[in-house]
Amino acid sequence: MNMINWATFEPLLPEMLLVCIGLALICLDLFVEKTRELLPWLTVLGCVTVLGMVIGERNVTAFGGMFLTDAYAVFFKVISLLSVIMATLMGEHYRRVHGLRHGEYYALMVFAATGMMVMASAGDLMVLYLGLELMALSVYCLVGMNKGEGRSTEAAIKYFLMGVFASAILLYGMSLVYGLTGSTTISEIARYTAATGLTENPALLAALGLIIAGFCFKVAVAPFHFWTPDVYEGAPTVITAFMSVGPKAAGFAVFGRVLLSGFPELQPHWGSLLATLALLTMAVGNLTALVQTSIKRMLAYSAIAHAGYSLLGVLAGTADGLSATMSYLLIYGFMNMGAFAILVLLSSRGAHHESLDDYRGLAKSHPLAAALMLVFMFSLTGIPPTAGFIGKFYLLRAALGAGYTWTVIGAVIFSAISAYFYLRVVRYMYMSEPEGELDFSYTPGISAVLGLALLGVVGLGLLPGTIIGWAASALLGQ
């Protein structure tokens, strides 16, 4: 009888630990009533432990290339865990204010994190799909968390139906690829395609198109973005913040790995396709955001626009481009989490305060919150010395280096347009008189998120060397 060699499982340890944490959280919630107050803090503690393990991971190719723990995977795992940590801390505040008592919230968050980590490490289409579904199913439930609220339930159903549809398209593409190349391992697909000269094969191109469509849905790239505004608006704000950062980053992780490791020979095809999609996404996101009156919905469209910017690095098809997308996603994580944290902070029981009008004169009544929002808005616009500028600059540089000049010119013009609606928030806060009374207080959870986000936005803006150096060295397979 074969003994199981436990050493083979070593690369999976962080993921396994996360699953255990998730299960433990469920049990604690069910059976030990006294610990309920502690659940968020236990979640954070668990995630921080796993974060430490992830950073210390060695570069291993496990299970015959199905599971990779290269620096690329580590980078995305860090983003995923950071997004979970911040969303949990925010959730703690949200729970206190809105009186929600859901232990499963934290467990689902942890399971979503596991899914994202598996996605980041996936070296095989099947593992990729497993991770994707684990993450997606957890997030479907999280979106519908506010059971009493119609729009939350509606968003969950909508997201579920559209998500399942997209997964089916993705699977169909994968099955075609398997039929053509005889393998589901990403590196094997690339080797086979190159060796047999399949690069102009129409069936392979169709399969690639289906896969790209599936991924585009996951990261909310136009024209597959129609679910985004409604779902982002309907979901509890904490979940919206989480979705726009963690799952999106994980989506880009597989996007980048599949295209660059799996189909590098086809770059001329998918490069120009993605360039068109990127421009379309920026146009849809930025132009529609111009007319929104709800900040939450505006941020949803802004998330679409930012997916367009992030694509710039992927479509370049270079190591440089991919590391630009990686740094951008991390930076975007900080600034978007920060902006959503202000939204969460301002909401109170029964009233969400998501309309622009609620922000009138905020600088007078709550100078600190207004100043923080100001920093996040300027960062989302991409104005130095905030990190948003550094991220955008790196992306533009990569896309220009790959020769996509007109795409870049389009990107900067849309970026200038975006200034209008981000600055509108600043205008309302600083240049109008307050109308109603807003009453809120800072809890440890939300303060920690705001502090972390501010540190990220300002720190990475002033000293970007570390992050760019890290992303540049964290290339595929290293």
Partner 1 sequence: MSIPILSTLIFFPVAGGLSLLMVDRNKTHLIRMMALIIGLMEMLISLPLFFLFDKTTPRMQFTELTPWIPALNINYSLGIDGISILFILLTGLVTVLSILVSWEAIQDKVKEFFIALLVLEGMIIGVFCALDFFLFYIFWEAMLIPMFLIIGIWGGPKRIYATVKFFLYTLVGSLLMLVGIITLYYHGGQTFDIRELARHTYSPGLQMLLFWAMFAAFAVKVPMWPVHTWLPDAHTEAPAAGSVILAAVLIKMGAYGFLRFSMPILPDATRAMMIPMIVLSLIAIVYGAVICLAQTDLKRLIAYSSVSHMGFITLGLYGLNTQGVEGGILQMINHGIVTGALFLCIGMIYERTHTRVIADYGGLASTMPLFAGFFMLFTMAAVGLPATNGFIGEFLILLGSFINRPWAAFFAATGLVLGAWYMLWLFQRIFFNPVNSKVVGLAELNLREIVILLPMVALVFWIGLYPDSLLSFMHVSVAHLLDQVHGGADAVSRVAVVLP
Task: Kindly write out the interface string for residues 439-468 of this chain, putting x where it contacts partner 1 by CB under 8 A and - elsewhere.
Answer: -------------------------xx--x
8 near partner 1, rule: CB under 8 A:
no
Q: Using CA atoms, how far apart are residues 120 and 117, in angstroms rounded to an integer?
A: 5
Stretch that binds partner 1, among 6-14, 42-50, 172-180, 425-433 (CB under 8 A): 425-433
Phi, psi of 92 (to 5 degrees): -60, -40
Q: Show Cβ contacts of residue 271 under 8 Å, excluding neighbours closer than 6 positions.
A: 315, 316, 317, 402, 404
Q: At what angle do helices 237-257 and 319-346 cross, to 10 degrees?
A: 170
Stretch that binds partner 1, among 53-61, 68-76, 116-124, 423-431 (CB under 8 A): 423-431
Please, how many CA atoms are within 13 Å of residue 170, restricted to the half-sphere of its CB?
Answer: 24
Residue in 179, 268, 451, 469 binding partner 1, rule: CB under 8 A = 469
In the block, residue with structure tokens 């232990």: 103
287 near partner 1, rule: CB under 8 A:
no
1-9, Cβ contacts within 8 angstroms, sequence gap of 24 or more = 8/62, 8/63
Count of residues of this chain found to bind partner 1 when the rule CB under 8 A is applied? 32
Of 461, 453, 458, the residue nearest 342 (C-alpha): 453
Which residues within the stretch 368-397 sit at the binding site for partner 1 (CB under 8 A)?
Answer: 378, 383-385, 389, 393-394, 396-397
Query: In the bound complex, what is the minimum distance in angstroms from residue 383's beta carbon to partner 1?
Result: 6
Which residues within the stretch 180-209 sit at the binding site for partner 1 (CB under 8 A)?
Answer: none
| Mode of pairing for the β-strands spanning 67-68 and 61-62 | antiparallel
334 near partner 1, rule: CB under 8 A:
no
Residue in 26, 419, 434, 443 binding partner 1, rule: CB under 8 A = 419
412 near partner 1, rule: CB under 8 A:
yes
Specify burial of residue 414 (Cβ count, 10 A radius: 0-12, 13-18, 19+): buried
User: CB count, 10 Å around CB of 107?
Assistant: 23
328 near partner 1, rule: CB under 8 A:
no
Q: Which is nearer to partner 1, 340 or 404 (CB)?
A: 404
427 near partner 1, rule: CB under 8 A:
yes
Q: Using CA atoms, how far apart are residues 9 and 39, in angstroms rounded to an integer?
A: 28
E strand segments, 50-135: 61-62, 67-68
Task: Kindly write out the interface string for residues 65-104 of this chain, putting x where it contacts partner 1 by CB under 8 A and - elsewhere.
Answer: ----------------------------------------
| Beta-bridge partners for 122 | 67
Q: Which is nearer to partner 1, 102 or 427 (CB)?
A: 427
Query: In the bound complex, what is the minimum distance in angstroms from residue 469's beta carbon to partner 1?
Result: 5
431 near partner 1, rule: CB under 8 A:
yes
405 near partner 1, rule: CB under 8 A:
yes
Query: In the bound complex, what is the minimum distance in angstroms from residue 226's beta carbon to partner 1?
Result: 29
289 near partner 1, rule: CB under 8 A:
no
Q: Using CA atoms, how far apart are residues 413 and 282, in angstroms rounded to an integer?
A: 10
Per-residue HEC secondary structure of 161-194 comes to: HHHHHHHHHHHHHHHHHHHHHCCCEHHHHHHHHH
Q: Using CA atoms, how far apart are residues 416 and 235, in angstroms rounded to an integer?
A: 29
413 near partner 1, rule: CB under 8 A:
yes
Q: Which is nearer to partner 1, 64 or 385 (CB)?
A: 385
401 near partner 1, rule: CB under 8 A:
yes
Task: Kindly write out the interface string for residues 118-147 of this chain, putting x where it contacts partner 1 by CB under 8 A and - elsewhere.
Answer: ------------------------------
Of 234, 346, 238, 360, the residue nearest 297 (C-alpha): 234
Task: Summarize as ranges the residues that interact with partner 1 (CB under 8 A).
Answer: 363-364, 378, 383-385, 389, 393-394, 396-397, 400-401, 405, 408-409, 412-413, 415-416, 419-420, 423, 426-427, 430-431, 464-465, 468-469, 472
